Structure 1
């Protein structure tokens, strides 16, 4: 009887400890929520998200100010010398105003700035609502990355300013001003879409902007010296990148490129040619 009583008490204690462990793992009434699947702490995710904002602000300030100085200098040279070949204007639809030779195209970029400011106001409003929530309410749903949203708004405002600066004196040398933050906005949108489905996985801001710098550099070389060899190298790089990304999407990130991939593929093609060329996951293949 004593042994039986001891075993029952130990079973009760183990059951209680199991319930406590379950409550610690699933703090929301023992239910599995999205927040329970997050491995990173909210502070870590918030710090990583803020890095996007500070990187975009730094790039925007140190990129926009020299651009504005350059195009204003171009406009002054055009007005003083009368050499209209410095800039490429469509005089059929250009409306000069004051010192600007093409005011309407500069003014047309105001929409980018206003839309970016409205987006920033909406993000700030959502951020304030999130701050007023209780700690338990903050753990519900996916982790919020407000720094990434602020970065998207700053990028949209910067795109409006730089596009307006380009239209002050449009030419082939200034074309990069109009497109740089288009790349930034597109990449930030892709990162945000990925983060919405993978809230615990956030790309490093430094790596993201490093890739952006490479893309902008390739675009700059294409504008300055787009010869035959450049297009051959660009096409090869583009095809290899698309191939690697296709493998990553098809195999859900489990694809690893090593020295034996070509050997294994050739061996499978020789042994079972039909099975080697038949896709294992037809749904993913159709989507790709």
Structure 2
């Protein structure tokens, strides 16, 4: 059964009508978060047909709460740096079809669109979303100059979260605007490859510490320079330190040296 979403422009009504829908909902107007409302929460498998309409977050979030769910967003413009939060949903199948995303750079907004993205890509697979954003961020910069711009952008725009055993695609790190040190590093290196930094330069992951959660850390290496977009977000280039954390190893991109599920 499809539920049409009519004559409303706020998250409260959108939450109610999505809750009432069975497995399909159609948007017939634009939606915008109003101060004091709850976040938009989706707790089941559903297809949301945007029909070209927009969802504007205004610093609110879209929260997905159901494991093993199948959530499809189709023909929706996500505005105001959309924040999509996975709450124990690392095994959900999240698909975006003909959607657009507004992503903030340091001085301007970019709108990125792509035909189709299914949220189960693995490390080393670079989506059109990542490729396009990386190229918009670096402009005409090449090589190491481009890598430095990307390192600072990721450090300033992707919030660190402490998430043991949870790893996500670079796309989802961008959409959620957060990720653990592994996810942040993976995004940075994928962006570097997207703009060709790997042509003439060696990219790798540095794994510091043991496999015990809380005693390990990941950052990147470009040639022989350590790049930490997590701890040193204002000036990540060359400021990472191995220190006295003990065991560490360096692996060449795209091999991230820990077992992980997306």
TM-score (norm 1): 0.22
More helix by share: 1
